[in-house]
Amino acid sequence: MTRRIATQAGRPDIPITVGCSGRSTREVIAEAKTAKEAGADFALVLVPSYFHFAMNKDSIVAFFEEAADASPIPILIYNYPSVVAGLDVDSEMLDRLAKHRNIVGVKLTCGGIAKVSRIAATYSPDKFSALAGQSDWLVPALSVGSTGAITGIANLYPKTCIQIYNLFVAGKVKEATALQLELAKMEWGFAKGGINGTKWVVARLRGYPQESCHCRRPYPKYDNATQQEWIVGVVGALEATERSIAKGST
């Protein structure tokens, strides 16, 4: 569907990355093959964590290597310890995996800016890229060699995210930093609000039906009025900035 919509919008060239995670290597490979058939260009892959107690460094590296061997599309490592029982793909593991011909980068939702600098010091971006996993540290990441960010915030405030990147690469670091600080304050709403708070406030700000914003059970509803008022104030604070950015500037 994403590929079809991009084509209808006149942008068939936009690269599409699809989350391809599962509880086993076999599941992940099957997901990657399905993603390829659907028109995806890259697979974003988490470490399987159901049996996290058995996953040592060698088994994590072997998982990514085996998945990459069989995947018909290049793999991006998704390092997000908070959702995989604390399993972290550290710098040594990333260095080993970066040498695989079908592993092209990593999304660092661990916030590991030191990993960005170590990767940038060793590999050119066309070989292996380090991407920030949140937009609230986009400028710091770019300053030590990141190629950008994969961030949920861009779904709500795309112009702001793109403007920060464009300002930085144009050498306007002071302006990029000022906008980064605005975005960082807003992103705390997503971080503290969680998935249910994020979905609720996006529905509120964009006029989507409220019944469409609830997470699958047993994830609780975001229905506390005090919390709702707080998150609208924090996240909505960037609305004026987003509207002020001209379309041509992004």
Beta-carbon count within 10 A of 100 CB:
17
pLDDT by position in tens, the chain (length 250): 888 888 898 988 999 999 999 999 999 999 999 999 999 999 999 999 999 999 999 999 999 999 999 999 999 999 999 999 999 999 999 999 999 999 999 999 999 999 999 999 999 999 999 999 999 999 999 999 999 999 999 999 999 999 999 999 999 999 999 999 999 999 999 999 999 999 999 999 999 998 889 999 999 999 999 999 999 999 999 999 999 997 656 5
DSSP H helical ranges for 43-100 = 57-70, 91-97
Task: Give Cα 92 distance to the centre of its chain.
Answer: 22
Which is catalytic among the residues 107, 127, 172, 174?
107
Q: Could you give the C-alpha distances from 250 to 13, 179, 203, 206, in angstroms and in order?
A: 17, 14, 24, 21
Give the integer Cα–Cα distance in Å for 153 and 205.
13
> Does 107 qualify as catalytic in the annotation?
yes
Give the integer Cα–Cα distance in Å for 67 and 48.
12
Q: Which two tokens stand for residue 10?
A: 């006149």
Q: Where are the domains of the chain?
A: 2-150, 178-250
Give the integer Cα–Cα distance in Å for 210 and 61.
42
Is 147 in contact with 129 (CB distance < 8 Å)? Answer: yes
Q: Does domain 2-150 have CATH number 3.30.300.20?
A: no
Omega prior to 220 cis, within 30 of 0: no
**Nearest by Cα to 2 from 46, 47, 42, 33:** 42
Q: What is the pLDDT of residue 108?
A: 99
- pTM for the whole structure: 0.93
